[in-house]
Structure 1
Amino acid sequence: MGSITISRAYDPEPTTGAVFLVDGMWPRGVRKEDLRLDGWTRDVAPSPELRTWFGHRPERFAEFRDRYLRELEANPEAVRPLLDAARKGPVTLLYSARDTEHNNAVVLRDHLRHLLATVPH
């Protein structure tokens, strides 16, 4: 099983393994040819309603996490490509939020790690 890391789509940090964009919208100002992606998993992004409600406000993050996890649990097929890739090797989840601690990729990474530890193949 591989590690799961997260990285901002705007950061020039090297990525490891399979690389997936996990936002519902393409990062502003980034050309498609500038990102080496194995997939753009739009279906794992928070719903537009949840994203708008959260508004990247740290004080709403705990509630955002709970609501987003419910969305992910209701849509296991969306998570499957990421889970399958993580079972084969390292995975990097790319996101575009400025806040590196309060964003959907943090929640998704933790959710995937939990699934890898508890759900058999």
Structure 2
Amino acid sequence: MKIVIKRIYDLPSPDDGYRMLIDRLWPRGMTKEKASLSEWNKDLSPSSELRIWFHQNPDLWHDFAKKYREELDQQDFGKKWLEAHRQQTVTTLLYAANNKIHTHATVLQQYLQDLQLTM
């Protein structure tokens, strides 16, 4: 499965495949119709505590990424999600943050790609 990331505010495309929102909070100003979601998966998003601690502070980026991967390992939702969605050829992870570099979506994308290699 190809896993890509995209801001939810960008227009949906047929190339997006399975569109999954990976934010714990619903994006401001976004309607369900405009979002065109296949799934809203809060389980794969960072915990509220971790999200608040990080709050997109680039200085904490490496610590955030490490803690987020630890959360994902503990919960094991990534492996379960991949097993349930094997048939998807493309999955687009959607997020709302303005910062395209320091976002949990990049961590989750790499995490899921790494998991696929071990399955």
Same fold (TM over 0.5): yes
Alpha-carbon offset, residue 59 of structure 1 = 1.2
Instruction: Output one character per residue of 1:62-117: Cα deviation in whole Å (capped at 9) or x when no partner.
Output: 00000000100011135522554255311000000100011111000000000001
Deviates more, 1:101-110 or 1:13-22: 13-22
Q: Does 1:22 pair with 2:22?
A: yes
Q: Give the equivalent residue in structure 1 for 2:47.
A: 47
Q: Does 1:34 pair with 2:34?
A: yes
2:71 match: secondary structure: helix
Q: Give the equivalent residue in structure 2 for 1:63.
A: 63
Q: TM-score, normalised by structure 2?
A: 0.90
Could you say what the CA RMSD is over the residues aligned between the two structures, in angstroms? 1.6
Q: TM-score, normalised by structure 1?
A: 0.89
Q: Give the equivalent residue in structure 2 for 1:9.
A: 8
**Runs of 4+ residues deviating >3 angstroms:** none
Change (3 A) 1:99 1:10: same
Maintained 8 Å contact 2:78/2:112? no
Change (3 A) 1:82 1:22: farther
Runs of 5+ in structure 2 lacking a partner? none
Equivalent-residue separation in structure 1 for 2:83 and 2:58 (angstroms):
27
% identity of equivalent residues:
36
